[in-house]
Structure 1
């Protein structure tokens, strides 16, 4: 993300053929090179990412002095996805199990802000729900998959003042729209479409950034922005990008 006084925009996009560590490292090398010759100052206070191991490993090597922050959005979605995979919401006692699972998820998420309570709270959760086989499977999944990120402070938000640094949901939203944009094109997809769509997206951000600070934000449909059209609509989702 490129941070302006009151606005943000994506710094770059990379169309990748795989998610291997070497490819991430190569892309980071290119990014650092182009920034170095552009004269644009790169000041990284932290890097917010999802929990892909190849990406984490590459970032640690490419930006060894930067703090890595785990994405709150991905934590929440992964916990709920696992609960569904375990069939917790499909059982006869689904309503009660779902409520208890949601309680556990909320307690886990609160630990992101109260990391000092981690070990005690995890022990309390286990003790409270030990009689439920389904819930214990869910708790054991959390301990095996996520506890390490709390212990190494990747999921420690206690010192993070600005909410936007705790999640990369804005970028996920943009990527989702781009994927949908090209899926709709189907067999008619061309790489020139990809370049043009990104040009239109950046033009939208650029026009908004250079606009007067008191000028009302114009919201357009997601598809219209990628198409480069100027039809106005109430795009509430975009408020998180530009406010």
Structure 2
């Protein structure tokens, strides 16, 4: 209590009370004290571990109190009641300033023709990376997209990553009415009309065919790399649907197929022949192999996209993580 004048005096070893004065209030609620102490630890943690999500830090700190009884659990604060406070403490610790902007300054383009409407947003300070960077990541998310739009599509630029640190930031945000090739082409053309220097060498996407075709149409010669996570997940989903994963040999076969992604593109066919020589002799594996050939080896759109050889970052997860943060805020 701030108004309490109680004091206690001990010896130098803190094991003998020399003098004390009484408290001027009722005993404090120990439950509230415990929660307050834990919140102080949580506040300290969000300032020290700036790369960890605040929601994760909060949950970890509160978890230590959840087994202390129902009375205490009922009094635990909800994340949404303390989230702003925790963000303020983190921002203060890293010297982040509150951002203010006008709508006109981030509106990159507002396209409207017939029933087609596209809104594109970009910060003036970040647009320069579209002209100077050569590696980009692209992806769309749907759950956070406001009506009448269909998806929020983002373009992220890589600003000099290393094996230890991935430095990728979102630079373009676009609200699109659908996921047609013509819409993606229009998006890229609008951006190129204002940033004529945009000339990427390498673009990582998932295996969305309309987006890949639009990229090839607008950037001839660009290297398109599909996300290894999506490639691997697609193989396992198909394998499980066909029953390939019911045996250990079947699982090994799927792993070998997924590993082909790490070979140089000129060695993929040779690697596939090796995998076929070792393949289990079963109807479900034969069906899986037919799927692999049709979808990944002989598909005119995807055949050259799933090789991740010498790619420092083989996935689109950095964009997926960003999408996840947007969903939490929305």
Identify whether the pair has TM-score above 0.5, normalized to the shorter chain.
yes
Q: Which residue of 1 aligns with 2:234?
A: 78
* TM-score computed with the length of structure 2 as normaliser: 0.45
Alignment check: 8 A CA contact 1:149 1:155 kept: no
Alignment check: 8 A CA contact 2:189 2:218 kept: yes
CA deviation string 1:98-130 (max 9, x = no partner):
x33332233223322323432333233333335
Does 2:194 correspond to 1:34?
Answer: yes
Alignment check: 8 A CA contact 1:126 1:136 kept: no
Give me the whole-angstrom Cα distance separating, in 2, the residues matched to 1:76 and 1:140.
17
Note the 1:109-148 alignment, pairs <5 A. Answer: 109-114=258-263, 115-148=265-298
Structure 2: 5+ residue runs without aligned partners? Answer: 1-155, 162-166
Q: Which residue of 2 aligns with 1:155?
A: 306
Which residue among 1, 4, 13 is the counterpart of 2:173?
A: 13
Cα RMSD over matched residues?
Answer: 2.6
* TM-score computed with the length of structure 1 as normaliser: 0.59
Give me the whole-angstrom Cα distance separating, in 2, the residues matched to 1:53 and 1:148.
14
Does 2:264 correspond to 1:104?
Answer: no
**SS of match in other structure, 1:19:** coil
Alignment check: 8 A CA contact 2:253 2:275 kept: yes
In the alignment of these two chains, the number of paired residues is 168
Note the 1:1-243 alignment, pairs <5 A. Answer: 1-5=156-160, 7-36=167-196, 42-89=198-245, 94=246, 97=247, 99-114=248-263, 115-148=265-298, 153-158=304-309, 160=310, 162-164=311-313, 166-178=314-326, 181=327, 223=328, 226=329
Classify 1:16/1:28 alpha carbon distance in 2 versus 1 (closer, same or farther; 3 Å).
same
Give me the whole-angstrom Cα distance separating, in 2, the residues matched to 1:116 and 1:65.
18
**SS of match in other structure, 1:111:** helix
Higher strand share: 2
Quote the offset at 1:177 in angstroms: 4.7
Question: Quick check: 131-140 or 166-175, which moved more?
Answer: 166-175
Quote the offset at 1:59 in angstroms: 0.6
Give me the whole-angstrom Cα distance separating, in 2, the residues matched to 1:47 and 1:69.
6
Alignment check: 8 A CA contact 2:200 2:219 kept: no
Give me the whole-angstrom Cα distance separating, in 2, the residues matched to 1:144 and 1:152.
9
Report 1 or 2 for greater relative contact order, CA contacts < 8 Å, sequence distance ≥ 6: 1
